[in-house]
Amino acid sequence: MQKRTLGKDGLQVSALGLGCMGMSFAYGGADERESIRTLHRAVELGVSFIDTAEVYGPFSNEELLGKALKGKRGQVQIATKFGFKILPQGEGLERMAGVDSRPEHIREAVTGSLQRLGIDSIDLLYQHRIDPAVPVEDVVGVMADLVREGKVRHLGLSEVTAATLRRAHAVHPIAAVQSEYSLWSRDPEHGVLPACRELGIGFVPYSPLGRGFLTGALTSRDSLAHDDFRRGLPRFDAAAMQHNLTPLRRFGELAAARGMTPAQLALAWLLHQGEHIVPIPGARSVVHLEENAGAARLTLEPAEAAAIAALFAPEQVSGARYAEGDFALIDA
């Protein structure tokens, strides 16, 4: 697996990472044994950039990684996130009760993450969502203290505007921004992506396969588990999915003509957007991990990439990426 560098302080990671949220959270039941096999296979393939968060579970995803990656610390770079207020009772999403980036909570969250992951230092620590009650300068100040204390190596932010990123980067170098970015979610192209290029900051697209839609395997919401959070997303409304199947079919034809799967072509398109971009597709099985990893060997010509992008131009996509209330947590 080829390597890419996030930020100017030399955080080297695999060109494709592995998003682990779905192993414990949001998409319905997962098989822990298969998740562990998937993590072990990722290490074998050189997919070394592993992404988690305290809120995934909550907490259980970090615990899973701690178990699966024991004895493999030198072979992986682990990214995790803080920033949500997590209730002591409840299940999954119902335990999320807004945001919390008070200094004392940041330190508490990092202590918990280190313990659950079984590591001494977090390679990349993100603020998961901006907290309007705490200036980003103060948040990054605490994160920078954690770097000086050796508990964290590099800093990141998630779902922020270019203006917020500049304010944060002035306090301490930011290695990476993580935001949703894929063929059908192109918002970062209009602000934060150009800022990352200018400042020498890496960009980590989450949901690079459109939460599974761009793989071509998900054509009806009826196939989603009853507790799959995609059932609440406008793009997975039945009418929106039916509309979006039109460009998806053409996309599948282009992938087949190149001898790729749709997932591989979607990831290859993202990798083509810049050397500072490191997608983190989720995978809960070895077969999907291996399919995704194959995209790192693929290249696209500029004209080909432009034609693919045009298929999913924003005006061609039906449905917002989040429900209206969820956008309250997005920096805008």
Judged by DSSP in three states, 192 sits in helix
> Going by C-beta distance under 8 Å and a sequence separation of 6 or more, which residues neighbour residue 235?
184, 210, 211, 213, 241, 244, 317, 318, 319, 320, 321
DSSP 185: B
Judged by DSSP in three states, 124 sits in strand
Our answer to whether residue 126 is catalytic in this structure is no
SS3 labels along 58-115: CCHHHHHHHHHCCCCHHHCEEEEEECEEECCCCCHHHHEEEECCCHHHHHHHHHHHHH
Tell me the β-bridge partners of 79.
51, 124
281/270 Cα distance (integer angstroms) = 11
Among 56, 126, 181, 206, the one annotated catalytic: 56
CB 200 within 8 A of CB 7: yes
114/149 Cα distance (integer angstroms) = 13
Task: Identify the helix (H) or strand (E) that includes residue 288.
Answer: helix 286-293
**What's the Cα-to-Cα distance from 78 to each of 27, 43, 65, 181, rounded to whole Å?**
22, 12, 9, 20
Q: 21, 31, 99, 10: which is closest to 60 by C-alpha?
A: 21
Residues noted as catalytic: 56
